[in-house]
Structure 1
């Protein structure tokens, strides 16, 4: 897609486009986004913070005035937009030595979102605290009505840098409109627990999802036999991992479905992957330290990713961060798991991110182009999208954006209990297309 704003800075353009994408569910106004972007000095991170923070402050002040005058809908809409603008303001401030502006803008984003949530009459949006180990995880429970009727339920969490509040625009409202109960939450390493409890990411995500499902099973509006899990961005690694162990889930959705996050951690290290991982495991590797310093000096995307990664992973140097990321490869588990026993929908976005970031979405043994030609006898035809997915990851079926071929995901779940240690069989909702004979 052509960069309509910030033509020389893909980071700024991508985050601007991110805000624009929230317009559909009230998270932004096109005029406010464009006018804010026009005031920002390209590649100046202080300017980015200053202008987005100013827009957020103006919009939230207008919302306060509307609420005081009794205009609840206008106030709700203003608080929603302000919440997203505050989130955008603090985005590039993440780092191991956390900028105090980061905490303040994040807290304002949460405050504005909770103010908006309190003004909703349909759906009901209730801030919740989910018991987790010796503390709690923050989230929002979306109920379609007050009837107490059990409904199919969607658990949603973000990934490397998104918030639970942003999930309102990323699918929570859309799911409620379609009859789901929704729980959007922040897990360890995500903004709420990282800011206020110091919790960092952990690879064994099933130990996060299990207490979340325990909490949901106490909610009358939740149909315990139809609970699905959706993970966004790096959550596309974490959600399938959790689903491999947590058999109470009826389905799992990975958006994007990352195959190997470790690939991004070694792509700029000299040598092949085996040599790169050897350097990462070494107690001392001066050449690795020098390579990472060079990357951070010349690549602003890598610099932001490493600084943010150190913050959310709880490490103090880039090499230590690089050592952690390969642990998220699906074959590097600390204990054995069966393939995901649930219907699984894996979605891939468009080519907005730079190529190296997209590479993590694809298993290395597959061709670069998902429509790559394959041989059948003497003739070649494009590889059907779903068959490509089956080869790509047999237990994760890829559903591409083709509405005539792919029916809506239906959460089906057998009613009979399964013995401990035995895998439950779920009917597949994403099937391969019928084979066609070559003429």
Structure 2
């Protein structure tokens, strides 16, 4: 898809397109996104923060006034958009040493979403899911108050997305189709990372199993029809969990990932074994310098390395890349998945090209590979720009799978 804004910075454009995709379920308005983007200096993280905060503050203030005047629907819609705009504002502020502004913007995003959640019927309920010696934040969506057993979709995001963002990425769509939905942030994801210091872990089954335990305690959840959906990096995390958590009735990877280690080593010289050794070495000054150079000249590398250090708890770009080596479904892990699995694929994925096909090839369970194309407007990573289309196909697959299970 042609870059309508930020022609020389693909990362800025992708995040703008991502925000546009949330228009489909009330997370943005086209004019607000475009007018904000036009005020931003391309490639300037401070400018990105300032302008998205200005838009978020304005929309939030208007929502507050609507609520005070008794206009609940207008307030709900405004809070939803403000929540997403605050999320956008803090997006580029992470790193080994974070910009202190990121906590304020994140907290405002959550506060606005919760204000909106309370205005839905039924309300979207904030929950705390027991996890080890703490809890994970999330939301439970009910279709209604009947208590009738219903299929339930557990959803989590990936490398940089929030539980709140999942509202626009399928949660509300699934509720419309008769599903209860439980969204959550796991370790490394925004809630636990911001407020508990929890970083990502590769053994994601130890995250999802407590979530499934919790889901089974909720009213109206049909324990025999619990599905799991992971977005972006969640495309490797969710399959990893499903390989060991066999209570799941279905699995969806949007988009599928097989081995993040391939991303870590693709620009490191030598064989895979040599590249891994260099990434994990106590000292590798030439590689360190090359990674620093990449951050200076490549917008994706600049953002990914900074954010990766933050969410992985790594001190250097090389340490972040080394951490990716542990996020893999190789060694027979993918083959352990038993439930029917949908692997989504994006024709022009700029992050993980070819990974969905590798995951699909290694699956031995009932499986479907679903390609989204550029002609459909859905060819980018996780299909921003065609959210209604993508979610419809995913939910239809889930309907058919759980009906015949």
Structure whose alpha-carbon radius of gyration is higher = 1
1:311 deviation in Å? 0.5
Aligned to 2:336: 339
Instruction: Report if the CA contact (8 A) 2:257-2:352 is conserved.
Output: no
Aligned to 2:397: 408
Matches within 5 A, 1:160-309: 160-309=159-308
Aligned to 1:328: 327
Which of 50-59 and 2-11 deviates more?
Answer: 2-11
1:410 deviation in Å? 3.6
Distance 1:343 1:41, change over 3 A: same
Aligned to 1:113: 113
Aligned to 2:131: 132
Aligned to 1:385: none
Provide the rounded CA distance (Å) in 2 between the counterparts of 1:194 and 1:238. Answer: 17
Query: Does the residue aligned with 1:93 lie in a helix, a strand or coil?
Result: coil
Higher helix share: 2
1:82 deviation in Å? 0.2
Aligned to 1:81: 81
Aligned to 1:52: 52
Aligned to 1:374: none
Provide the rounded CA distance (Å) in 1 between the counterparts of 2:28 and 2:298. Answer: 29
Higher RCO, 1 vs 2 (CA within 8 Å, ≥6 residues apart): 2
Aligned to 1:92: 92
Which of 310-319 and 112-121 deviates more?
Answer: 310-319
Query: Does the residue aligned with 1:91 lie in a helix, a strand or coil?
Result: coil
Which of 389-398 and 237-246 deviates more?
Answer: 389-398
Provide the rounded CA distance (Å) in 2 between the counterparts of 1:80 and 1:350. Answer: 30
Structure 2 residues not aligned, in runs of 5+:
374-388
Per-residue deviation, residues 15-34 of structure 1 (Å, max 9, x unmatched): 11111000011000111111
Instruction: Report if the CA contact (8 A) 2:337-2:363 is conserved.
Output: no
1:358 deviation in Å? 2.3
Distance 1:299 1:361, change over 3 A: farther
- Between Structure 1 and Structure 2, how many residues are aligned? 385
Query: Does the residue aligned with 1:113 lie in a helix, a strand or coil?
Result: helix
Provide the rounded CA distance (Å) in 2 between the counterparts of 1:277 and 1:216. Answer: 38
Matches within 5 A, 1:329-368: 329-331=328-330, 339-351=336-348, 353-354=349-350, 357-363=352-358
Aligned to 1:153: 152
Instruction: Report if the CA contact (8 A) 1:187-1:208 is conserved.
Output: yes
TM-score by length of 2: 0.90
Structure 1 residues not aligned, in runs of 5+:
364-388, 415-425, 428-439
Instruction: Report if the CA contact (8 A) 2:256-2:355 is conserved.
Output: no
1:285 deviation in Å? 2.2
1:200 deviation in Å? 0.6
Instruction: Report if the CA contact (8 A) 2:346-2:371 is conserved.
Output: no
Distance 1:410 1:71, change over 3 A: closer
Distance 1:256 1:338, change over 3 A: closer
Instruction: Report if the CA contact (8 A) 2:334-2:362 is conserved.
Output: no
Provide the rounded CA distance (Å) in 2 between the counterparts of 1:129 and 1:290. Answer: 42
Distance 1:104 1:115, change over 3 A: same
Provide the rounded CA distance (Å) in 1 between the counterparts of 2:241 and 2:74. Answer: 40
Q: What is the aligned-residue RMSD (CA, Å)? A: 2.2
